[in-house]
Amino acid sequence: MGIEVRSRRPEVRIFFYVFCFLSLIFYLPSSAQMSFESFVIDAGHGGYDSGIKGANFSEKEITMSLAKDFANALAGKGKKVLLTRKSDYAISIKERVRIANQGAPDIFISMHISSENTFVIYSLFSDMKNSQSGVTNAKFIKNTAVVKGIAQAINREFKMSVRHEELPIPLIVQIESPALLIEMPRPDKFNYDRKMRERIINAILKGLDV
């Protein structure tokens, strides 16, 4: 169990590990050292876009339930929260990005369901950490620290490995704030009743030290 890092090229993976090692020694903050007071929570899919579907579930419904529960938990802690969608309707990536950037949150989290029975956290592709992509060094460092915190908290809570992938996903690259996309295990192997949703949300909150 632990955090697995994947990348498209060996040299990028080597760079990532070296960067993380040096950051931990010199300047990489932990989630506890960062302040998260405002959030944009994104429920994946919606409307005609159901996402992953099974006999008794659709991804869009589960992500909506998780996003609402997450927003309520954050609001209960006095945090400012904005949802990209509040009910079952389609919303484009462009509109999600606009809502997030207009809200200017401390962090953006998009919630999805994996096609596998595992947790996956997607973050910035390290090759995009340059001025042309608009990905700043500060944003990259914050993303790396948050991924580590959330992955460790999920691992402790569910005794499951958490896969970390760096991909140039438009949704998180175009958002100016630190941004992550989290996939939860497939519902036909993972129950999403209220109690389980609370465990997932509490693990993420612990990872963020909120």
The mean per-residue pLDDT over the stretch 172-190 comes to 92
All domains in the chain, ordered by first residue: 3-29+37-208 (3.40.630.40)
183 or 2: whose pLDDT is higher? 183
Look up residue 80 and give its amino acid: K
Compute the distance between CA of residue 168 and CA of residue 158 in angstroms, rounded to an integer: 28
pLDDT at 131: 46
Short-list 151, 175, 178, 177, CA closest to 164: 151
Judged against a pLDDT cut of 90, whether residue 195 lies above it is answered with yes
Q: What is the pLDDT of residues 3-55, one digit of tens each?
A: 455 555 566 556 555 555 454 444 445 554 568 999 999 999 999 999 999 88
pLDDT at 30: 52
Q: Quote the pTM value.
A: 0.81
